[in-house]
Structure 1
Amino acid sequence: MKFINSILIPFIYIFLHTPVCAQVKGIGIPSIKNYKRSDYRGGTQNWSIDQDKNGNMYFANNNGLIQFDGTSWHKYSLPSQNEIRSLKIDSSGKIFVGGNNEFGYFQNDTKGILKYHSLSDMIDKKDKQNINLIWRIHLFNGEVIFQSFTKVFFLKNNKLRFINAPSKFQFSFLVNNRLYFQDKSLGILEYKNKKLKQIQGTTFFNDKEIWSVFPLPNNKMLLATLEKGLFISDNTTVKPWETEANAFIKKNTSLGGSMIKGKFIVLNSVLDGVIVCDLNGKIIQHLNRQKGLQNNTILTSFIDNKDNIWLGLDNGITFVNENSPFSYFDYSYNIGTVYASTVFNGNLYVATNQGLFYHSWNTPFKDSPFTRVEGTISQAWNIQVINNVLICASNSGALVIDHNKVSKKLDSRGYFGFKTIPNHEGYIIGESYNGFSIFKKSADGFEYSHQVAGFDETTNTFSIELDQDYLWLKKDPFLYQMKLSGDLKKFDYIKKHKNISGAYTGIGSLQNINNIVYFQTKNHFFRFSREQGTFFEDKKITALFNGIPAITTLIEDSQGNLWYAHNESLGVLTKNQNGTFTKKQAPFSNLSGNLVNNYISVNTIDPENIFIGQTDGLTHYDSKFPNSFITKPKVFIESFTFPGDTILTGNIPENHQIYTVPYSSNHVKFTFSSPTYENQENVTYSYKLEPFEENWRAWSTLSIKEYTNLREGTYAMKLKAKNSYGVESNISEITFTVSPPWYRHFLAYLVYFILLITAIYIISNRIKLKIRKNRYYETIEQRRLYLEKESKIRHEQHELEKEIEKLKNDKLQIKILAKDKELVNNSLQVVKKNKILNGIIYKLKDIDTNILDDSTKFEFNKLHKSIVKEVNTDKSWKDLEKHIKNVHFEFLKRLKEKYPTISPRELDLSTYLLMNMSTKEIAEIMNISTGGVELARYRLRKKLGLNKKENLIGFLMSI
């Protein structure tokens, strides 16, 4: 047909010429993780899926856009709250979405929160009502293309244009960089040069609704229709793709699909889940509700950046860990807890807690479950091939299996397993619930022989050294060393060992490596020397386990690999061709916790088919699976929250911003995410807040951390993740600053500094002023003190002078008084002299001069005149009186002021009394009698108001 020539010739065979690492295992079921509506808190239906460059997943959901970062789910709604049917993410991180009469894009704001920006608002209201549902979105030649049933819109450089459908669009397809639309009338249209060009001869599909188109080798194309099945076309013809895949799709209806690296095709169905087929249409996997999906209607499928499958279901979301060396046989295959497995005569046999089951080894495992071996309904502990006989050790006894049924019961007692006996060909020993039994090979197979006497304890672990006659049995806390008798009927020798080394206590495990029995304690391996009767360490084997945690079980498989168990985890030392070993532990971390403790089962058929028993089924491991499934995880600080604000830092690409947190909001919370979806429950985180913490926190699955009461400062929150394979991510970091409280803010400190400087300045000035004042006052005080001192000195000097003057005055007064006394005395002498002279004169008057001669008379008269002259010219008394008044002028003045009525005669008397003159002297001076003096004294005392007891002279002296 012309359609074939038009659409297939330009396709580039990119998928055929690119190395492909993707791989889909055809045995078992990959790990499946279902997310229910209650998990993502959205609508039931999920129509489209995409992934951003950080690894976050996005789903077009009935309730809006769902985001999943590996840890948390976030929902973002359209303004109209309508469903979203399509989405596509460009390289810038814009998430373009389409719904009913609405399309646009979500983009992160500065806080990492997705905000919706409508593009349909750029269309006229009339045209907007006829948009219909946007079913497909494509990124093509720099344009974003939104396709609905009625229109196709083209966005470029923020300009929008549209083309109406010729009649009605079905869907559109971007194949090998060419864009096609299916129209119900015109067939297939190619978008070229901004126009839709019809491809001739494509109306063949007008009655068929094409959901997906896949490129195939040799220029062929595979077209998946809704109800008509799958069609393959080459350059000339279109015909149904007559394959297993087409038969499945025709029966269950197709809703499109996706391709895994151009090597496998994922086909969605409406009725029976999803299938994965190769390019020849052979179904490799079929996943449905019975196999672990939560819903059989697959609306969309998506291959993520690790080649794993995401399914958008009619009710929920499912993740299929396709790119993994592990697949599983679980309850859907009728398998419970697995204790052992083996392949025999083209069948895989599995010993479980529900009996022995088998499945054809040469037939694909796809949908057919395991079948119970007839006659095994009790617990089966082991299944072994010994001398080409299949023997099952079970709770029902020792059973021989032939043609998938129990052909013979060797013994009805319960058994744990069987071993061949060295140097006794045709004999095996069985470990029963109460000791050991011997079985002998006959023409009809093995037959029960007898019970070995001497040991009847229950055990389930033993090994025999092939080149000696010892049976070594480990039964905690002892190691039993037992020697069988020659006829195998009893134990001739039994010895118990509690330790195998003086340096290490206890016995860790007992194992057979390269046909030699080894005894292990704390990863040190010992052998027994029969010659010396002691245990010695094998340094070579011990060296293999350096750096490995203390093991509890060690198994050598058919390839010489050493499988070890520790802490319910599994690891392997793979044997190389040169005899060395390579440690491989990380891939098996996903099995941790699911291994059957004390019953570790590893069955290596070949490097690509290794079966491991688990508590919930059987695990298939392909050691040749490419190591591309182990990648370095990414880690993000998903959100940074403090009171009043939340920042989704995980949505912000290359976030180097430093956030500021107010001191009042110094309670911060971080949530972590790692878009690692395989074995997500085993992803662990380690973190530290610098400089608050110096060391990294221990690895933990917790994805949230809070810090309270942080002091101000700049902090760096550092985070790293480790996936289930033990691979660590790079460090993710966010920096934030806690502002100080206002009283410890830089501006506050600046104000404090200014206030301090101001205070210092003011205080300094005040101190200086005070110092100046103090100096001034000190100067004043010193001046005052000086003046006081000077005044005091002057006063003292004055007083001294006064004292001196007083002393002088007193001395002078004394002198004066003495002089006065002397003068008075002299005056009194003069008075006496005058009195004597007056007496002489009176006596001379009595002398008769007439009797005297003239000369005598002359002399007598001359004498008389001389005496009279002397008496008349002597003014001593008047001078004395005057002198006394002058000397005692102040006294007389005070006395007169105080006693104004005092008479001059009494003043004279007071003066004489002050001069301490006697009464006789006063009488003589005053020319009165002594009695008159006494009378005058009495009158003076009375005038002065003195009583009899008061001294007159003392009183006068006080004045």
Structure 2
Amino acid sequence: MLENFPPSNYQNKGKIWDIASAPNGIVYMAADLGLIEYDGKTWNTFKGSTGFTRSLKVINDSIIYTGSDLDFGIWRKNQFLAFEYTSLYPFQQDLAELNEEFWKVYQVEDHILFVSSQNIYIYRNDQLTKIAAPGKFSGSFAVNDSLYFADETLGLLILRNLALRQVFPFPAGQHLTISGIYHHGNDKIIVTRDSGLFRYSNGNLSPENNLFSETLKTATVFSFEHIENNYLAFGTVLRGLFVADLNGNVIHQINKNKGLQNNTILSLHYSHSGKLWLGMDYGISVIDLNNHFTYLVDYRGDFGTAQTALLRNGIFYLGTNQGLYQTPWENLNNDAEFSRFELVEGTEGQVWALTEFENSMFIGHDRGLFSYTQSGLQRIGNHQGVWTILPYKDYLLAGNYNGISVFEKSGNDWVFLKRMELILGSCNQLITENEDILWVNIPNFGLIRAVLDNDLFPVERVIFPEEDFEGSHPRLFKDEEGIHLLTSNHKYTYNASSNDFSRDTTEILFPGIEALLPGFYKPVALNQDYEFFPVYNGFALKYLHFAEELNAPHALPVLRKVEAFNNDEKALFFPGALIPSRFNNLRFEFVVPNRSDVLYQYLWSGKQEWSKWSPENNFDFYNLKHGNHTLLVRAKMNGEITEATEVSFNIATPWYHSWYASVFYIAVLILAILFFRKWQKVTLKKQKKKMLIRERHSLRKQALKYRQEIMQMEQERLKLESNKLKEQLKNKTVELANKAKENEDKNRLLLLLKDKCAKAQDKPAQSKMRWSEIQRLLDSYLSVEDKTFEIQMDELHQEFFQKLKDQFPALSVHDLRLCAYLKIGLNSKEIAEILNILPSSAFISRSRLRKKLNLNPEDDLHDFLNSI
């Protein structure tokens, strides 16, 4: 599997001259503009010396030695997990007079060797020892436990006991530029840049006369790397990468046609995880050699995105979005420079399915159903869009864009028979449960289980709606356990007894393939050795008998970053650091370096259960309490669980929980108690004073209330007496009125007597004087009676009459009497009887009285008179 990283991924730091990995799997690279670090998820870059960085030696993930132009030095990781550079080159003041470039760094026991064209610098215990080149070094190589140096003057040299010894001189008149050395048995194979391979055996150096050596001569080998003890990698300038066995048989040839960003391989590194890293003139690539998938990506635009495939008679047929292609199976070998595919004429367009039946190959195409035999391509029927092809008894069933077409054989040809009734829609999958039961998958509708009779008529149908299944891109398949449906979320199994699907609770392991087309959870079997998977812009082949000889060591999760944060700020911390209490939210970043398909799980201190497995490698924890905490993190790859990585940290006790804060709290508590007691005394005194004031005020209010009650009682008594007097006045007035009436009656009687006496007077002449006296007496009586009533009325209402006279001087005696009668509550009828007048006359008198009193029509006369 090939993965490319363009320079933009690592901030365009230039060409990659050297690559190495730490024991934990993190990869480091020497680039033009500094040191690059990559853990499989995150790129980090560090700037060291001013010159281009050419070489490196990784001791561990905390100490790295690098060589560069006019400098070499050491990188140490600080407490914040970032690298800091220190130069070890002793001639920093004389750079203008020197021109050393350090292309290699080695470790021999406790010695670090920095190699330039002119010198070897040996660093040990902060001391440097220099070994000058006999002539000029053109290269240096580590082979097993030995270091070799190619010198332009003396040939190949070996370093023994910190001294250079010649292994062999270069052939007379021939200068070899060596790119690498490896052992083959007791011999040494010399890899040269432009002269192919040479064998050094029994003191003799001779060229290798084989095809691979001739190939390397034209490729310009620039870099070389061992792959375990069985394979060799050759990075070339012109033809990309060659991977061969020890006998020179090419296993892989990978170049720009097969996906590399360019063909110039400047550096190679094989990591413990089974990945081969390629540093190039442009970009970085990595090839997972410990992977049973081979990807064939259409970088040149030869065939497009694959959909299906068929291996038949040694020919590999590939159905893509551009048509049907074919190529001999051996052309897909990895040792070929590129794969050549030939388009089958007449199949241009989308190919959906390939099926072999009765020595013929059938093609499900966007334009319909085709058969492809030795005689050529032939269209069957005229239906458009065939998704899938299923041989069924003596028929062919073709699921197309609008139902199922049935074909039968007539002579040597296949002909259209009919459309299957009662099943409509885009039928993209057909599988059989047994001889009589057909399953149909219709996207955006669901599944149909149809029981067919001998005429292929669905006598019984059961529909399973798509919304009953969680996930997208449902796909039917059948195995020895029965009928199943796979979606992006779950696996479902059909239960014939209940005629329903049940969801499996086991974890679904989907194929770990990059850019796999949606819905292709199950591969297409090509033969007993290979399976086919369609991917975007290409396809992948899985070798079923892959022997994982390149086993990677059991990796562990590596802590990459500890970040503490709150609402206002964040900061980085190192493991074991004392974290300030204001940062009680932590984020941990872990990674299993440069491994794919990794799931992570953590266990927090104080918890009993691990978290759920997740691909997320960042863990956030909020509102943590102060004190010591421990975090355990482990990973799962290919079903295997790693050991846990433990991280301990301590959140500082906040100042308000410290001992001096406790002393302060106690002092404050004592002062608070004393203050409270004093405050309580003052408060009690104030409360007592307030109570006395409230009591006095209450007594005053009670006294005032008592006086008000006495006054109210007195007013009520006076009111009762007033009402009583008014009642008496009324009674007296009535009595007086009655007396006046009696007097009126007497007056009328006397008037009658007077009238009779007057008549008798006319007769006896001598009684004239006596009658006159009687008349005078009666006149006197009448006059006295009349004034007696007036005097009585005046005496009874003297004050009332006086107030009326003062306010209304125009009132007559008659008006005053009428006012008195109205004040005591007499009505018009009662007043008329007293005054010996008609009731209407009394009413008229009242109206005249209202005018004299200047009253409005709405004013009450009785209330007005009582107000005076």
Question: What is the TM-score normalised by the length of structure 1?
Answer: 0.62
Residue 512 of structure 2 is matched in structure 1 by 589
Tell me which amino acid in the other structure corresponds to 1:497: V
Deviates more, 1:376-385 or 1:355-364: 355-364
CA contact (8 A) 1:518 1:526 kept: no
Supply the distance in 2 between the matched residues of 1:634 and 1:716 (Cα, whole angstroms): 17
Is residue 167 from structure 1 mapped to residue 135 from structure 2 by the alignment? yes
Aligned residues: 661
Residue 62 of structure 1 is matched in structure 2 by 32
TM-aligned CA distance change 1:346 to 1:169, over 3 Å: same
Secondary structure at 2:103's aligned position in 1?
Answer: strand
Residue 674 of structure 1 is matched in structure 2 by 591
Superposition deviation, residue 262 in structure 1? 1.9
Superposition deviation, residue 187 in structure 1? 0.8
TM-aligned CA distance change 1:647 to 1:455, over 3 Å: closer
Residue 314 of structure 2 is matched in structure 1 by 346
Residue 626 of structure 1 is matched in structure 2 by 547
Tell me which amino acid in the other structure corresponds to 1:738: I
CA contact (8 A) 2:390 2:430 kept: no
Superposition deviation, residue 258 in structure 1? 0.4
TM-aligned CA distance change 1:478 to 1:638, over 3 Å: closer
Alignment deviations for residues 681-734 of structure 1 (CA, whole Å, 9 cap, x no partner): x5454456656x8876655555545566655433334444445x4544433343
Superposition deviation, residue 314 in structure 1? 1.4
CA contact (8 A) 1:685 1:703 kept: yes
Largest Rg, 1 or 2: 1
Is residue 53 from structure 1 mapped to residue 20 from structure 2 by the alignment? no
Superposition deviation, residue 751 in structure 1? 4.2
Tell me which amino acid in the other structure corresponds to 1:417: T
Residue 889 of structure 1 is matched in structure 2 by none
1:747 to 653, 660, 675: 660
Residue 157 of structure 1 is matched in structure 2 by 125
Residue 231 of structure 1 is matched in structure 2 by 198
Residue 392 of structure 2 is matched in structure 1 by 421
Superposition deviation, residue 329 in structure 1? 1.9
Higher relative contact order, structure no. (Cα contacts within 8 Å, ≥ 6 residues apart):
1
Superposition deviation, residue 763 in structure 1? 9.6
Supply the distance in 1 between the matched residues of 2:256 and 2:477 (Cα, whole angstroms): 42
Superposition deviation, residue 739 in structure 1? 2.6
Is residue 373 from structure 1 mapped to residue 344 from structure 2 by the alignment? yes
CA contact (8 A) 1:519 1:526 kept: no
Aligned pairs for 1:896-911 (under 5 A) are none
TM-aligned CA distance change 1:471 to 1:734, over 3 Å: closer
Is residue 256 from structure 1 mapped to residue 214 from structure 2 by the alignment? no
Residue 498 of structure 1 is matched in structure 2 by 463
CA contact (8 A) 1:637 1:733 kept: no
Residue 134 of structure 1 is matched in structure 2 by 102
CA contact (8 A) 1:277 1:284 kept: yes
TM-aligned CA distance change 1:385 to 1:378, over 3 Å: same
Supply the distance in 2 between the matched residues of 1:302 and 1:73 (Cα, whole angstroms): 18
Supply the distance in 1 between the matched residues of 2:553 and 2:192 (Cα, whole angstroms): 36
Residue 716 of structure 1 is matched in structure 2 by 630
Superposition deviation, residue 397 in structure 1? 2.2
Supply the distance in 2 between the matched residues of 1:202 and 1:247 (Cα, whole angstroms): 20
TM-aligned CA distance change 1:434 to 1:167, over 3 Å: same
Residue 371 of structure 2 is matched in structure 1 by 400
Residue 102 of structure 1 is matched in structure 2 by 71
TM-aligned CA distance change 1:57 to 1:283, over 3 Å: same
Is residue 548 from structure 1 mapped to residue 506 from structure 2 by the alignment? yes
1:611 to 517, 528, 532: 532
Tell me which amino acid in the other structure corresponds to 2:3: K
Aligned pairs for 1:382-531 (under 5 A) are 382-402=353-373, 406-414=376-384, 415-422=386-393, 424=394, 427-441=395-409, 445-452=412-419, 454-455=421-422, 457-458=424-425, 459-468=427-436, 470-475=437-442, 476-477=445-446, 479-485=448-454, 488=455, 491-498=456-463, 511-513=477-479, 523-527=492-496
Tell me which amino acid in the other structure corresponds to 1:64: G
Alignment deviations for residues 587-638 of structure 1 (CA, whole Å, 9 cap, x no partner): x2345x72442x6552334453122233443221123223566875422231
Tell me which amino acid in the other structure corresponds to 1:731: A
TM-aligned CA distance change 1:740 to 1:183, over 3 Å: same
Supply the distance in 2 between the matched residues of 1:171 and 1:453 (Cα, whole angstroms): 75
Secondary structure at 1:589's aligned position in 2?
Answer: coil
Is residue 635 from structure 1 mapped to residue 548 from structure 2 by the alignment? no
Is residue 331 from structure 1 mapped to residue 298 from structure 2 by the alignment? yes
Supply the distance in 2 between the matched residues of 1:408 and 1:119 (Cα, whole angstroms): 76
Superposition deviation, residue 226 in structure 1? 2.0
Supply the distance in 1 between the matched residues of 2:474 and 2:102 (Cα, whole angstroms): 65
Supply the distance in 2 between the matched residues of 1:192 and 1:518 (Cα, whole angstroms): 67
1:85 to 40, 47, 54: 54
Superposition deviation, residue 133 in structure 1? 0.6
Tell me which amino acid in the other structure corresponds to 2:658: H
1:193 to 161, 175, 178: 161
- Unmatched 5+ stretches in structure 1: 1-29, 528-533, 550-565, 571-587, 650-654, 771-959
Residue 709 of structure 2 is matched in structure 1 by none
CA contact (8 A) 1:47 1:85 kept: yes
Residue 302 of structure 1 is matched in structure 2 by 269
Supply the distance in 2 between the matched residues of 1:166 and 1:504 (Cα, whole angstroms): 76
1:663 to 581, 585, 588: 581
Secondary structure at 2:274's aligned position in 1?
Answer: coil
Supply the distance in 2 between the matched residues of 1:455 and 1:254 (Cα, whole angstroms): 67
Deviates more, 1:619-628 or 1:276-285: 619-628
CA contact (8 A) 1:184 1:206 kept: no
Is residue 43 from structure 1 mapped to residue 13 from structure 2 by the alignment? yes
Provide runs of 4+ in structure 1 moved above 6 Å. Answer: 503-509, 515-522, 534-538, 757-760
CA contact (8 A) 2:292 2:543 kept: yes
Superposition deviation, residue 127 in structure 1? 9.2
Secondary structure at 2:216's aligned position in 1?
Answer: helix
Is residue 317 from structure 1 mapped to residue 277 from structure 2 by the alignment? no
Q: Cα RMSD over matched residues?
A: 3.9
Identity %: 24
Is residue 115 from structure 1 mapped to residue 73 from structure 2 by the alignment? no
Supply the distance in 2 between the matched residues of 1:68 and 1:518 (Cα, whole angstroms): 42
Tell me which amino acid in the other structure corresponds to 2:544: S
CA contact (8 A) 1:131 1:151 kept: no
2:523 to 581, 597, 602: 602
CA contact (8 A) 1:308 1:323 kept: yes
Tell me which amino acid in the other structure corresponds to 1:400: S
TM-aligned CA distance change 1:688 to 1:463, over 3 Å: closer
TM-aligned CA distance change 1:416 to 1:160, over 3 Å: same
Supply the distance in 2 between the matched residues of 1:505 and 1:685 (Cα, whole angstroms): 25
Supply the distance in 2 between the matched residues of 1:300 and 1:499 (Cα, whole angstroms): 57
TM-aligned CA distance change 1:714 to 1:509, over 3 Å: same
Alignment deviations for residues 8-50 of structure 1 (CA, whole Å, 9 cap, x no partner): xxxxxxxxxxxxxxxxxxxxxx2x2222322222521111111
Supply the distance in 1 between the matched residues of 2:379 and 2:61 (Cα, whole angstroms): 71
Superposition deviation, residue 471 in structure 1? 4.1
Superposition deviation, residue 352 in structure 1? 2.0
Aligned pairs for 1:649-660 (under 5 A) are 649=574, 657=576, 659-660=577-578
Supply the distance in 1 between the matched residues of 2:27 and 2:476 (Cα, whole angstroms): 48
TM-aligned CA distance change 1:732 to 1:615, over 3 Å: same
Secondary structure at 1:498's aligned position in 2?
Answer: strand
TM-aligned CA distance change 1:625 to 1:759, over 3 Å: same
TM-aligned CA distance change 1:242 to 1:603, over 3 Å: farther
TM-aligned CA distance change 1:612 to 1:71, over 3 Å: closer
Tell me which amino acid in the other structure corresponds to 1:660: L
Secondary structure at 2:130's aligned position in 1?
Answer: strand
Residue 736 of structure 1 is matched in structure 2 by 649
